Chains A and B, each alone.
Chain A
Amino acid sequence: MEVAVIVAVVVVLALVVLLAVLVQRRRRAGGVISVETRSRARERRGTGRRT
């Protein structure tokens, strides 16, 4: 009984650590972001109204 509890606790802790590692990797993952600058967006909206 005690062994089963210990094994269960260890398994749960391992899963928590694994989940934390995965979440942290995802949070830190980088990329290349394309943005439309606000000045460009304003310019485009202004052009849109005129046409």
Chain B
Amino acid sequence: MSPRQLLLRASDLIGRPVVTIDEGEDVAEVKDVVYGTADAAVLGFTLNRRGFLGGPMREVVAWSDAAAVGRHAVMIATAGAITANDDLLQDVRASRRRNVLGSDVITDAGQRLGKVTDVVVLVDERPEVVGYEITGGDVLSPRGSGRVFVPLPDTLAVSGEALMVPAAVSDFVTDDLAGFGAAVERFRQHLGTTS
């Protein structure tokens, strides 16, 4: 992992402010993190209005319009980066707002690993979903915390309500987010050598 890369839980982004660089103004909050099932790429964010009484917005921020994403805010150049008729919005509507949090993770060998409690995002030039945080399944945490991080291949399989991963993933499970980037790289190298 290069120094410019950043591993984040998706839940770290949810509720974070969307801030314009030109005026330094909080214009919205992140509601949902949206990613594509084909290549696990983060596509953008749906939004809430700011403040407790602010409901969901019709507009979204596509990843291509985000200037930077950090632990504490999503930065956009101007308020114009929030768009109403983006392709992303139509993809979200077509997906019927399929939330992966709470979905079961099963291997292609038929073993249930647990339920997704969070999604790990690698923030880079091309941000992608690189892992699931899961709990409550057959995979035991190395240190018994009950919560583990499961690396993902660079193409994802989704079937009905379940998220599928290769069976080999159980050898690369970790309970440490700091070392998770290395686990993802090892897992993908392993898939590359065995495919």
A interface residues (Cβ-Cβ under 8 A, vs B): 24, 27-28, 30-38, 40-41
Contacts and interface: CB of A to CB of B under 8 A. Distances in A.
B96 to A, nearest CB: 9
A34 B30 contact: no
Contact of A30 (B30, B87, B129): B30
B109 interface: no
Interface of B: 10, 14-15, 30-38, 43, 46, 48, 52-56, 87, 90-92, 94-95, 97-101, 118-119, 129, 156, 158
B99 A35 contact: no
A34 B98 contact: yes
Contacts of A28: 31, 48, 54-56
Majority SS of interface residues in chain B?
mixed
B32 A30 contact: yes
Contacts of A36: 36-38, 91, 94-95
Contacts of A37: 36, 38, 43, 87, 91
Contacts of A27: 55-56
Point out which of A35, A36, A40 has the most chain B C-beta atoms below 10 A from its C-beta.
A35
A30 B33 CA distance: 8
A38 B97 CA distance: 15
A32 B10 contact: yes
B55 A34 contact: no
A24 B29 CA distance: 15
Given A28-B31, A40-B36, A40-B38, A35 B52 contact: no
